[in-house]
Amino acid sequence: MTIRSRQHHDASRRVLRPAQIGTRVGAPLLGGRTWHLDAAGQRLVAANARIAPADFAQLMQLASLHPELSWSPGTDIATARNAHRTNTPAEMRTALTNPFTYLESDLRIVNGSVICAHDLGATDGMSLAEWLVIGRQSGRGLKLDIKERNAIIPALNLTRAAGIPGYRLIFNVTVSGNSDAIATPEQLMQIRNAYPEAIINLSVADASYSPGLVRTLGRIATSIGQPVMFPLRWDLVGPNVIAALRPFGKIAIWNDPRIAPGNIAEETSRLRSIGVDGMIDLRKLWS
């Protein structure tokens, strides 16, 4: 978690008027490039400002620097390089200055607003509106990991307001194992109807992948339609689970410091040989 001074903390909570945000800012330290924020983007950020104006301006400048990292329609998601956590200005700054093609946020409701926060109680994250506008400027893919059920529709509405095209989006939603986070069938269909091209990650928090759970995942995938992906935990998944889910969507395997194979490269190669599309290595902050 980033530690801020009291003065910085207070400044980051100011409500900005569109005129304070500006539409074009020079960036001489970054090669003289500029960024442009349209009227809709100005209003969206002004209504949901959390970070200091200088931080927002710097991140918009950084987001403009690498168009070669933009995510194009039809690109295979298995080729993505994902910045696993970009909730705070510092995390986003690191992501934008490295060759990641996807940016990921964790979303919660705080005082009625959608905030980027991986952990309950975290207060140093951007608003989703700020994150979306910066992400839109970058051209990169955007993954929204929605941690709470009541954040799903507000996050969807903000994403639509930001004008993000569906081919650049992944919505990660929980469908089993955590009652506070589980998306309803209606919410899943609202995502799909709003974004036919977006990938919907069907995430589970169960302690095992039982045959019944695997069948449920297949039914959900069929009901909402493609594209769908299953993020599965490395130490819980086996060839039978992979084979059963493969007809219903892409498969990504994740690990973290508590659960990780000894040789990631060898294990990734093995998993790909049995139908897995990619390995998400969470032993580092960035994967």
- Tokens 């909570």 belong to 13
Task: Look at residue 262 in the predicted model and tell me its pLDDT.
Answer: 65
Categorize the per-residue pLDDT at 272 as very low, low, confident or very high, splitting at 50, 70 and 90.
confident
Per-residue pLDDT tens over the stretch 123-158: 899 999 999 999 999 999 999 999 999 999 999 999
Where are the domains positioned within the chain?
71-205
Once rounded to an integer, what is the mean pLDDT over residues 225-253? Answer: 93
Once rounded to an integer, what is the mean pLDDT over residues 171-199? Answer: 95
Per-residue pLDDT tens over the stretch 158-182: 999 999 999 999 999 999 987 789 9
Per-residue pLDDT tens over the stretch 26-54: 333 344 456 778 888 899 999 999 999 99
Look at residue 282 and tell me whether its pLDDT is greater than 90: no
Per-residue pLDDT tens over the stretch 242-254: 999 999 999 998 8
Once rounded to an integer, what is the mean pLDDT over residues 99-126? Answer: 94
Once rounded to an integer, what is the mean pLDDT over residues 116-127? Answer: 92
Task: Look at residue 287 in the predicted model and tell me its pLDDT.
Answer: 41
* Domain range 71-205, its CATH number among 2.60.34.10, 3.40.50.2300, 2.60.120.10, 3.20.20.190: 3.20.20.190
Q: Vertex 159, ends 158 and 161: CA angle to 5°?
A: 60
Which tops the pLDDT comparison, 239 or 263? 239
Q: Round the average pLDDT of the chain to a whole number and report it.
A: 85
Which tops the pLDDT comparison, 256 or 285? 256
